[in-house]
């Protein structure tokens, strides 16, 4: 695998070098910043289903909530928040597909964790303040870097080079003692070549859920060099999060009587009093170092080379009662003639990882042909280990002893070639071929003291093709087919050593209409899976969702979205998704016997999702928007059990912005406000479902017991902010 990585690296650098030989000045057709992510984004008339979000749209509601929450009103999107108010651990599902199957890139660099495949936005708090634009592609989308997209990909471009010097101070305050403080600056272009910009942020919140506090800090620093057709960017950004754990959820009875209750950290002291450990926290730091070289060769050729190093480290801490000595390699001890082999203790489970990436791409285009060639190489090395930092009875243990240690190594190499060919004024063809080679190895013990020995190599071929037909200047039709393959995660192997990779064949058929006052998109999709890794509904002991292969399954849906300018001051932006999401055959154990349930609903896949933004804008400086979101009922498991049913919900938010342009010390002063859940809906956006066999109540009789947990979301709450631009 290492030789293959070296070969691909040489190929990528050679590709970059060949294009460089043609270097000459020419007129810029598009900004060099956009070249950075051009290879993995698509154009407006591409046969790929997508939504674009600009910086200005994010700014309207960026008052401290995580990026997934800001994307909540896009088509087919469902978002979740452990703490209930959008600060701390949040998640996003697109078309019912979990975050582990959503590809995220930042400036073309993969952001998904290489082992868990998930995305932890809490590690980059207030990152929305440094986003220039993003594109959400639904379905497989176009070839991208990193792990494959099975429901969506989110391609993020960070702040563009600014021509003018500026500074911005933003503060926001709101319910649950939430506060956000952001300082941004840019030197503008110095000597018409150099720019330095940056951001410092802090977000704190007590959370809607009891003790679900979040203390989040982040930074972003960017240096840019621009000359003629050359752009070089060096970026350093990262975050440090300390969040009180809120991933345990609550049962149905507690939901009715005390919906903000948080069982995390609960223990009983020597007097029998129930207490809560004050440091039951997740504490994690992540630093990213990126270097990008964009070069426009001439009107036909442009190139990009990207380098990345990510360093992540941290732990979560837990108070545990009556733990067995054997689970921590403690030896039994005797005190006063009594044998002691259990103890109360405080443990930390650590992650310490390094992630390296090299991306290279070249773009050739003329009047009819637009082609991209690229390669991406990544290498991940992650340590997993546990420490006991206090124990009532510590036996023979020493400080910093590790009661388990494990390691994961992963290499990922991909090469792609994609092109669009304009056959005539009406018809264009799209083709995209990608090869991806994954090498994943693990060693050592899991936190459960189980040997995890994985040595897997995957070779994936991911072809894509599409066609766009322009009916006229306002309407076009498109059709596309895309295949994606995706490897299992570390936790998948922990729950099932025989887990299989998943495969998706995605068919998309759409119509786009755009005129001055009316835009409408309709898209039908059929996503046919083989061994889809669906969420079972259960969680492991660190709150990670457990997945399993589901054999053959499919998602069939229709997405509709529009933007209508009703008058000079009123506009609406509705969207809706109607879908059917099925496992073709579900076989499970129930009451000690295997049962074939036939066709069942895929977990966490509502059949109906709708959203709307109703905007009143009497002037350029004033905007008021009513945001509405409906999510239909869904099952948290794959057996259609009533115990796993999650009720539908309908939530409305009210957003307002007022900008005062001044000629004094400030360029502008912007007042922003957001009232979430204005009708005080008591709803649940996420949960979990589990089963276990009980053979104790009646000897010889096995009874399957079902249970569920819920993550309640905040009732009416608000955020208000002021932004001063210099």
Rounded Cα gap, residues 220 and 128, in angstroms: 11
- SS3 state of residue 191: coil
**Domains delineated in the chain:** 2-725 (2.40.170.20)
Q: 70 with 92: CB under 8 angstroms? A: no
- Helix residue ranges per DSSP H, 45-150: 55-59, 67-70
**Per-residue pLDDT band at 294 (split at 50, 70, 90):** very high
Least confident of 61-75, 200-214, 422-436, 657-671: 657-671
pLDDT at 272 over 70: yes
Least confident of 336-345, 516-525, 694-703: 694-703
How confident is the prediction for the chain on average, in pLDDT? 92
Mean pLDDT along residues 24-49: 71
pLDDT at 84 over 80: yes
Q: 259 with 250: CB under 8 angstroms? A: yes
Task: Give the pLDDT score at 698.
Answer: 66
Task: Give the pLDDT score at 593.
Answer: 84
Phi, psi of 211 (to 5 degrees): 60, 15
C-alpha distance from residue 37 to each of 135, 363, 462, 599 (Å)? 10, 11, 20, 41
Strands (DSSP E) along 50-116, which ranges?
Answer: 50-54, 77-81, 90-94, 102-106, 109-110
Task: Give the pLDDT score at 228.
Answer: 87
pTM comes to: 0.92
Q: 80 with 686: CB under 8 angstroms? A: yes
Task: Give the pLDDT score at 11.
Answer: 44
> What percent of the chain clears pLDDT 70, i.e. is strictly above it?
95
Closest CA relative to residue 234, chosen from 285, 164, 305: 305
Residue 649: both structure tokens together: 């919900």
Rounded Cα gap, residues 246 and 248, in angstroms: 6
Residue 372: both structure tokens together: 């991209």
Least confident of 95-99, 536-540, 588-592, 655-659: 588-592
């Amino acid at each position: 695998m290492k030789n293959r990585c070296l070969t691909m690296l040489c190929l990528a650098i050679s590709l970059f070098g060949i294009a460089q030989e043609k270097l000459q000045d020419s007129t810029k057709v598009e900004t060099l910043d956009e070249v950075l992510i051009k290879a993995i984004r698509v154009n407006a008339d591409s046969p790929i289903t997508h939504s674009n979000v600009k910086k200005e749209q994010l700014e309207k509601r960026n008052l401290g909530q995580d990026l997934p929450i800001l994307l909540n009103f896009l088509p087919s999107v469902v978002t979740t928040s452990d703490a209930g108010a959008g600060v701390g651990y949040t998640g996003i599902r697109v078309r019912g597909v979990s975050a582990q199957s959503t590809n995220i890139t930042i400036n073309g660099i993969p952001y998904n964790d290489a082992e868990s495949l998930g995305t932890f936005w809490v590690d980059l708090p207030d990152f929305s303040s440094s986003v220039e634009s993003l594109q959400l592609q639904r379905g497989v989308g176009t070839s991208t870097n990193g792990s494959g997209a099975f429901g969506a990909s989110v391609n993020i471009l960070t702040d563009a080079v600014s021509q003018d010097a500026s500074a911005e101070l933003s503060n926001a305050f709101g319910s649950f003692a939430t506060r956000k403080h952001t300082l941004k600056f840019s030197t503008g272009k110095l000597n018409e070549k150099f720019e330095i910009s940056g951001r410092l942020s802090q977000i704190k919140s007590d959370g809607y859920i009891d003790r679900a506090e979040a203390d989040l800090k982040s930074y972003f620093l960017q240096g840019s060099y621009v000359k003629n057709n050359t752009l070089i960017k060096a970026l350093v950004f990262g975050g440090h999060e300390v969040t009180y754990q809120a991933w345990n959820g609550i049962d149905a009875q507690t939901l009715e009587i005390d919906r903000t209750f948080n069982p995390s950290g609960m223990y009983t002291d020597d007097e029998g009093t129930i207490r809560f450990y004050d440091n039951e926290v997740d504490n994690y730091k992540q630093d990213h170092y990126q270097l990008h070289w964009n070069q426009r060769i001439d009107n036909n050729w442009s190139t990009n080379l990207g380098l990345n190093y990510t360093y992540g480290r941290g732990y979560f801490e837990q108070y545990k009662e009556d733990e067995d000595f054997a689970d921590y390699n403690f030896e039994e001890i005797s005190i006063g003639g009594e044998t002691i082999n259990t103890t109360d203790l405080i443990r930390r489970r650590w992650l310490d990882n390094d992630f390296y990436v090299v991306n290279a791409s070249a773009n050739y285009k003329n009047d009819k042909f637009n082609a991209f060639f690229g390669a991406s190489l990544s290498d991940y090395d992650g340590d997993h280990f546990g420490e006991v930092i206090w124990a009532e009875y510590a036996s023979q243990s020493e400080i910093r002893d590790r009661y388990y240690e494990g390691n994961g190594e992963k290499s990922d190499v991909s090469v792609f070639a994609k092109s669009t060919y304009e056959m005539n004024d009406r018809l264009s063809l799209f083709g995209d071929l990608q090869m991806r080679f994954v090498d994943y190895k693990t060693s050592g013990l899991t936190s459960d003291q189980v040997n995890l020995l994985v040595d897997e190599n995957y070779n994936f071929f991911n072809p894509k093709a599409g066609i766009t037909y322009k009916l006229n200047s306002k309407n076009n039709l498109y059709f596309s087919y895309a295949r994606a393959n995706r490897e299992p995660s570390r936790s998948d192997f922990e729950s099932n050593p025989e887990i299989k990779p998943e495969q998706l064949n995605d068919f998309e058929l759409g119509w786009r209409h755009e005129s001055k006052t009316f835009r409408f998109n309709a898209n039908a999709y059929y996503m046919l899976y083989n061994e889809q890794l669906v969420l079972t509904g259960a969680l492991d002991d660190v709150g990670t969702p457990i997945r399993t292969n589901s054999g053959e399954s499919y998602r069939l849906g229709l997405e509709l979205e529009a933007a209508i300018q009703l008058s000079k001051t009123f506009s609406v932006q509705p969207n809706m998704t109607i879908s059917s999401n099925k496992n073709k055959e579900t076989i499970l154990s129930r009451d000690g016997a295997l049962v074939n349930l036939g066709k069942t609903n895929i977990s966490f896949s509502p059949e109906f999702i709708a959203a709307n933004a109703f905007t009143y804008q009497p002037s350029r400086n004033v905007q008021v928007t009513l945001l509405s979101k409906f999510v239909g009922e869904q099952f948290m498991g794959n057996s259609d059990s009533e115990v796993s049913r999650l009720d539908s919900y309908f939530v409305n938010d009210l957003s307002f912005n007022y900008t005062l342009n001044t000629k004094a010390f400030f360029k502008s002063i912007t007042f922003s406000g957001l009232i979430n859940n204005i009708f005080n809906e008591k709803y649940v956006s996420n949960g979990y479902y589990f089963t276990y066999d009980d053979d104790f109540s009646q000897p010889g009789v096995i009874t399957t017991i079902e249970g569920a947990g819920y993550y309640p979301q905040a009732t009416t709450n608000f955020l208000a902010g002021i932004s001063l631009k210099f």
